[in-house]
Amino acid sequence: IGDIAARPGHMNATWGYWSSDGLGYHEYLQWCEDLGAAPLYVVNCGMAHHELVPLEELGPWVQEALDAIEYANGAAESFMGSLRAANGHPAPFGLRFIEIGNENGMFGGFGGTLEQYTERYKVFRDAIKAKYPEIETIANVRVPAPMEIVDDHFYNSPGWFWSNVGLYDQTDRNGPKIYVGEYAVTQQCGKGNLRAALAEAAFLTGLERNSDIVTMASYAPLFVHEKDRKWNPDAIVFNEKEAYGTPSYWMQTMFAETKADTVLPVDLPALPSPKATGGIGLGAWNTEAEFKDIEVRIGETVAYRSDFAAHGSDGWKPIDGQWSVVDGAYRQSERGEKRITLLHLPALADASDYVVTLKARTLAGDEGFLVLVHAPDADNYTWWNIGGWGNHSHAMERSVAGSKSALGHGVAGRVERGRWYDVRIECADGRLRCFLDGTLVHDEVDRTAPQFTATAARVDATGEIILRVVNGMEAPVTTEVDLRGVGGIDSLGSNLVLTGAALDDETGLRPNRGPVHGVSPRFSYTFPARSFTILRLKPSR
């Protein structure tokens, strides 16, 4: 908080970059004030990735947090407030939010255990509330203690964000408020592409729909030098000459420019949901496994029956791993993630309804085995992960264009080393029924869900309706916009559209503005392929 010229800077060993410390606590508070933004300060609660301050030695850390609050909010006559005034800002900054720690007590003990974080969270929260009851405290993970706000972080695939549009729909309204403090599509995103921006926009519509409990959200990270990336992607890229926004940045500006007050109910159109098709595959994850007696039936016809002893691995195409025929079984003997092989069989290329049976066992490693159906290639498939997640669970997952997300709910389960298991998967009428040793484990719908969602809200002061629609599909969607309950609507509206020629487009994309003619309480509108559209509809005067 002192003279910038006197700050030596330091090496951030955890993340591998130099911090000049030129932008310090005071500068951040000033920056927020200049932007008209509410500052949110995260205090170190005595926990790091590999270090832990004993509870009895937390006093200086707690005092540091209290000093930070006094510096931001204290009177100019207070000790810390006088330092703020000496640094050029006599008036308080108005700090309202303090987060206690960052990603502590998460990830199975990386950054300390949940129990260790809970102990320290209580100490900090009690001290802050005792002296500054007006400060809203934020827990960095759900703890068995009083919480006002909890911080959730999400870095995942486009498919995950699309699948979790309704993540908070059933959240307990009597629990803490939620701050999605870090989120971004970090897979199949290039250096920040349209595919990522649309998936994030879809997820944000779910946050807006649940804004009674989701109070804030912030994309991460914000800035990156194009020649010194430590994380990918980032919202704003800069070099020696210019700064430019990724599609994710422009998507967020669209939300920011069209804020509303009251969320309105939305019924989405019933878009066709095509059946998944394609052949089968086998796999393992950090495990050595083998398979035999594989049979695929389409109706009463046997489309494939394995005979590895006589024909070897004919028809199978390994994608990754070490696959070979050993003692009449097809074995994967290399450790590593996603070691899969696919069966190329013309009869299965367009098939959606079939039954696959086989025997499988593990020989060594950390987990169980994988059986793939509806798998035309290595990026599009549904697999049954048997004994996954450290050999603790059975679950189904669907991958679309390489973006993998859960299909239904997992169940507790493990596999025994060396034991042969009977596996049966029935694919019929868009459903999958999975049996292990004759016991039904999963019964799930397996269709490629339309990537199309929407939310609506009203600006209370003007009656204007803000309709946000995300179409992540490769085809436009024409549907009726039915504004039920609206007495009168101006025939001229406006739109704001972010789209591109391809989902992988990165630079050069910005929202386009335009008029919308022919608006009425019920009108037809075409939402372009690969687009995020915001319609602004005004009541008639």
Residue among 402, 394, 415 nearest 375 (CA):
402
* Given the residues 70, 99, 103, 506, the one annotated as active site: 103
**Total residue count of the chain as it appears in this document:** 541
| CA pair distance 357, 368, nearest whole angstrom | 17
Residue 103 bears catalytic tag: yes
Q: Which residue has the tokens 């608006």?
A: 519
Residue among 214, 43, 228, 50 nearest 124 (CA):
43
CA distances from 221 to 95, 153, 184, 362 (A): 22, 12, 8, 41
DSSP 193-219: -HHHHHHHHHHHHHHHHTTTTEEEEEE
Handedness of CA 105, 110, 112, 114 (dihedral sign): positive
Residue 246 phi/psi, 5-degree rounding, is -75, 170
Q: Write out the two tokens for 80.
A: 């810390």
Query: In a 10 Å sphere around its CB, with 0-12 CB exposed, 13-18 middle and 19+ buried, how is residue 295 labelled?
Result: middle
Q: Write out the two tokens for 44.
A: 């170190």
Helix (H) or strand (E) holding 40: strand 40-43
Query: Which amino acid appears at position 116 of this protein?
Result: Q
Known catalytic residues are 103
